[in-house]
């Protein structure tokens, strides 16, 4: 795989596949695609749900290492900026000499490799979308979505994936001829369609899965009314399925009956799946509407009254106003219902309009637009309707009503969890640029990224120039290279929205030891992605079920949650900690706002002079804790009063250091816990195991012995009180004894614990 183009390796489009025997022994085995998680890829393709499950090249290679898969796959289709990964498949070249000339030309313009059969070529390109050329007997296929290609790495050249659009249209499509056979039964009327309608049908069919037999048959009945034209479309669309068999498709076509709904039903169903007619009217931008460069064409309405809308104007109603605003702002404005706020794409980035004043200012163009529409009518009465409505629209009430309707329209609403959602993208430079954390490469933000947060630096510096920061780490951790390297990767990991490590860090140490400076520096670099969490949120309190929890709601989209100065004697909210570090979804809401469920993307960092109490002894809580000791105490003479200011000035370089840490984390992870962290965490766990300490002090493990449950609890309670500790309840003690493998039985009406004996009987003094 060393010869694969770097652009393909960097793209998050990778799959794996298994070879499944074909039920028909005369046919080749099927190559069934799987996501790198092991889930079969059998849902709708090229949807957000599908694309988010595609893996990186490294993830796919790790899946291959398991030995469960036969090969790698690369998903074709649109990426986040709208360009398409394309593919051309030339098959059976040894039996088709005409394909060899095509292959020679193709190898001169795009990356090519030998197909798994050894008798074909796969070419991978990147560029514009084109209509698919499906499988037929000529051995030529071409796709810009809805398929995946197997990848062998047996390169035939060293070219990069160039745009294949022109090659497909000029070299391949003219060679494709759908056989024209008169298959229409006598006496059945054939609907006439134009070339444009055929193109629209071809476009709509690509949004529907030919793999689904119900959809496949339903569309066959619909296309039957088009006769041979419909047959050609049906066979071409059928060829986009991995299950396509030309003879079966042709025979099935013969069995179809013309549907009552006709071919028009294909458009309706495709629109529900997201298809937009390519011949739909283009909407103008704000400048063209306001300054008269163009007048948009609204859908034709058969209405006698201009107030109900015409072919070129919207209705003179609040709903019509909302439609006008959508015409202008559909690409640059979104309403987020969970927080009742608008966001606008402005000057290369998304900005928030929380107060609503800015959005009302955007809507202030409405009166002028309506007056302008009225000037198009020579009839005075008709023009007067527009003038009156323009004056009405100038009122605050009408503006508010129009915006309210706009906020409920399809395409204008965006759910909060979809904002700042890509775990491997992070914004900087006021969200006008993003860093792809898979590669560490920055690029301009696009509207579809929906990035609203920003790191503090406006540029990415040079990690080697973070001189004071690197010296600070050496001083604070006494040159512990293992610990510094591990924290380097953790700082890179926190840039991502992933929580796969399922850990949180606790910085512990007394005095002036640098832990606060470390945390504050990272918080500063993280900018909008960091939030400070009150220690009370993470300690055991009684949170009202269903109540507003703005402290948690503020963490949506964040990458760092920082909690400082835990109080002495406070106990950790263990259930909440498990939830927020384990990747489970959290339901929360802000004051007076709708509830929202979101997937935590933040990494928790706690620091303080006092370690919180952890009651649980189970692996579920302790596997998540990493106690990082800050043992160095700096004297007054050693302290630099301007240190934090100096480190903040190095923020661009520290960011570069963190990005390099992210690349290192993707290679190595954080499983190699530094020795000092492992030791300190183990000691912390032993200190928190109160029941374990009591068992060691007051009992012995003896398989032949048993102890009365009441006496055991009395002994434990007195021991805890003498040690200045709050004893757990009898039920809690029983549960923890069970967790340690002790069994209980009844003897003469009393409950006895088996395998344990008391060394002494504090309980006697309590009876």
Contact between residue 471 and residue 461 where contact means Cβ atoms under 8 Å apart: no
Residues 655 and 514 both lie in one domain = yes
- Residue 356 forms part of a structural domain: yes
Return the pLDDT at 628: 96
Nearest to 418 by CA among 222, 283, 597, 586: 597
Please say which residue of 112, 142, 175 terminates a domain: 175
The CATH number for 703's domain is: 1.10.10.10
- pTM for this model (two decimals): 0.57
H or E stretch at 696: helix 690-698
Radius of gyration, CA atoms only, the chain: 33
CA distance 751 to 753: 7
Return the pLDDT at 530: 96
Cα→Cα distances 591→497, 594, 672, 738, Å: 25, 9, 42, 42
- Residue 449 forms part of a structural domain: no
Residues 488 and 583 both lie in one domain = yes
CA 596 vs. chain centroid, Å, equals 16
Residues 567 and 500 both lie in one domain = yes
Cα→Cα distances 448→80, 250, 454, Å: 7, 41, 16
Contact between residue 164 and residue 145 where contact means Cβ atoms under 8 Å apart: no
CA distance 349 to 432: 5
Please say which residue of 414, 435, 451 terminates a domain: 414
How many structural domains does the chain have?
A: 5
Q: Facing residues of 75 across strands?
A: 148
Q: Helix (H) and strand (E) counts for the chain?
A: 29, 25
Q: What size, in residues, is the chain?
A: 767
Residues 608 and 757 both lie in one domain = no
- Residue 427 forms part of a structural domain: no
CA 504 vs. chain centroid, Å, equals 22
Residues 370 and 267 both lie in one domain = no
- DSSP 3-state of 614: coil
CA distance 452 to 474: 35
Residues 529 and 623 both lie in one domain = yes
Return the pLDDT at 475: 95
CA distance 274 to 47: 9
Residues 500 and 574 both lie in one domain = yes
Please say which residue of 686, 701, 726 terminates a domain: 686
Nearest to 142 by CA among 157, 159, 158, 129: 129
Residues 561 and 641 both lie in one domain = yes
**Which pair of structure tokens corresponds to residue 217?**
């048959």
- Residue 595 forms part of a structural domain: yes
- Residue 62 forms part of a structural domain: yes
**Which pair of structure tokens corresponds to residue 354?**
């929380």
Residues 665 and 755 both lie in one domain = no
Which residues are CB-contacts of 723 (< 8 A; sequence separation ≥ 6)? none
Q: Facing residues of 608 across strands?
A: 508
Residues 627 and 537 both lie in one domain = yes
- Residue 444 forms part of a structural domain: no
pLDDT mean by block of 10 residues, the chain; 767 residues: 82 90 74 89 78 91 88 90 87 84 84 86 90 78 90 83 85 65 47 77 83 84 83 80 72 75 80 69 37 38 66 89 92 90 92 83 89 82 89 91 91 90 95 94 93 96 95 95 97 96 93 92 97 82 50 86 76 85 77 72 91 80 93 89 95 97 95 95 86 88 88 90 85 85 89 88 41
CA distance 522 to 601: 16
Residues 622 and 736 both lie in one domain = no
Nearest to 547 by CA among 592, 601, 600, 579: 592
- Residue 185 forms part of a structural domain: no
- DSSP 3-state of 133: strand
**Which pair of structure tokens corresponds to residue 476?**
């604070």
Report the alpha-carbon angle 666-669-673, nearest 5: 160
- Residue 188 forms part of a structural domain: no
The CATH number for 500's domain is: 3.40.50.300
Contact between residue 131 and residue 203 where contact means Cβ atoms under 8 Å apart: yes
DSSP state at residue 169: I
Nearest to 230 by CA among 174, 187, 180: 180
- DSSP 3-state of 652: helix
Residues 313 and 382 both lie in one domain = yes
Residue with tokens 């988010």: 52
- Find the domain containing 106 and state its range: 6-175
**Which pair of structure tokens corresponds to residue 85?**
């990964």
CA distance 684 to 99: 70
């Amino acid at each position: 795989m060393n010869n694969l183009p770097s652009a393909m390796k960097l793209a998050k489009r990778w799959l794996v596949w298994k070879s499944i025997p074909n039920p028909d022994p005369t046919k080749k085995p099927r190559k069934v695609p799987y996501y790198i998680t092991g889930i079969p890829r059998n849902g709708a393709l090229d949807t957000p749900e599908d694309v988010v499950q595609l893996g990186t090249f490294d993830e796919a290679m790790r899946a291959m290492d398991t030995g469960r898969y036969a090969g790698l796959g690369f998903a074709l289709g649109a990426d986040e900026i709208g360009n398409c990964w394309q593919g051309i498949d030339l098959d059976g070249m040894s039996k088709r000499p005409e394909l060899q000339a095509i292959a020679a030309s193709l190898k001169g313009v795009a990356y090519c490799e030998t197909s798994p059969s050894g008798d074909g070529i796969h070419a991978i390109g990147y560029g514009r979308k084109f209509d698919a050329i499906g499988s037929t007997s000529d051995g030529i296929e071409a796709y810009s979505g809805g398929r995946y290609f197997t990848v062998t790495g047996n390169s035939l050249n060293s070219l990069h994936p160039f745009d294949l659009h022109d090659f497909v249209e000029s070299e391949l499509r003219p060679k494709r001829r759908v056989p024209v056979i008169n298959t229409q039964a006598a006496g059945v009327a054939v609907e006439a369609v134009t070339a444009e309608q055929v193109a629209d049908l071809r476009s709509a069919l690509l949004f529907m899965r030919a793999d689904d037999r119900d959809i496949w048959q339903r569309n066959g009945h619909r296309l039957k009314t088009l006769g041979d034209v419909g047959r050609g479309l049906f066979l071409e669309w059928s060829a986009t399925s991995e299950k396509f068999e030309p003879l079966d498709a042709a025979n099935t076509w013969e069995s179809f009956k013309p549907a009552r709904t006709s071919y028009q039903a294909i458009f309706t169903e495709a629109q529900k799946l997201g298809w937009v007619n390519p011949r739909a009217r283009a909407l103008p931008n704000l400048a063209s509407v306001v300054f008269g460069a163009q007048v948009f064409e609204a859908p034709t309405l058969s209405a006698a009254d201009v107030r109900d809308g015409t072919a070129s104007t919207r209705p003179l109603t609040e709903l019509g106003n909302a439609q006008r605003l959508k015409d202008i702002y559909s690409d640059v404005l979104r309403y987020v219902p969970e927080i009742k706020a608008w966001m606008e794409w402005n000057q290369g980035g998304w900005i928030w309009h929380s107060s609503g004043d800015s959005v009302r200012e955007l809507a202030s163009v409405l009166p002028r637009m309506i007056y302008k529409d009225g000037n198009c009518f020579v009839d005075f009465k008709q023009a007067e309707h527009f003038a009156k409505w323009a004056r009405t629209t100038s009122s605050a009430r009408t503006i508010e009503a129009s915006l309210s309707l706009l906020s409920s329209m399809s395409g204008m609403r965006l759910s909060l969890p979809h904002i700042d959602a890509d775990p491997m993208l992070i914004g900087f430079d006021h969200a006008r640029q993003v860093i792809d954390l898979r590669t560490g490469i920055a690029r301009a933000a696009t509207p579809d990224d929906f990035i609203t947060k920003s790191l503090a630096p406006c540029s990415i510096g040079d990690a080697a120039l973070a001189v004071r920061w690197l010296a600070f780490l050496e001083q604070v951790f006494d040159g512990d290279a293992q610990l510094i390297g591990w924290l380097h990767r953790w700082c890179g990991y926190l840039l991502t929205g992933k929580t796969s490590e399922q850990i949180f860090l606790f910085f512990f140490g007394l005095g002036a030891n640098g832990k606060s400076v470390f945390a504050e520096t990272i918080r500063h670099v993280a900018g909008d992605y960091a939030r400070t969490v009150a220690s009370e949120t993470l300690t055991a309190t009684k949170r009202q079920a269903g109540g507003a929890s703005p402290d948690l709601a503020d963490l949506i989209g964040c990458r760092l949650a920082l909690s400082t100065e835990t109080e002495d004697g406070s106990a950790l909210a263990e259930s909440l900690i498990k939830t927020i570090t384990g990747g489970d979804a959290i339901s929360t809401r802000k004051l007076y706002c709708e509830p929202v469920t979101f997937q935590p993307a933040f990494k928790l960092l706690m620091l303080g002079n006092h370690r919180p109490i952890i009651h649980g002894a189970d692996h579920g809580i302790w596997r998540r804790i990493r106690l990082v000791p800050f043992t160095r105490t700096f004297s007054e003479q050693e302290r630099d009063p301007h240190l934090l200011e100096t480190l903040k000035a190095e923020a661009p370089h520290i960011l570069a250091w963190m990005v390099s840490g992210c690349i290192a984390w993707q290679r190595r992870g954080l499983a190699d816990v530094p020795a000092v962290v492992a030791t300190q965490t183990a000691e912390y766990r032993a200190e928190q195991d109160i029941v374990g300490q009591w068992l060691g002090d007051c009992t012995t493990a003896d398989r032949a012995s048993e102890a009365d449950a009441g006496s055991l609890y009395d002994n434990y309670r007195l021991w805890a009180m003498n040690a200045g500790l709050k004893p757990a309840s009898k039920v809690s003690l029983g549960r923890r004894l069970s967790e340690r493998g002790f069994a209980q039985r009844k003897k003469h009406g009393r409950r006895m614990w088996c395998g344990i004996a008391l060394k002494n009987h504090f309980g006697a003094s309590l009876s």
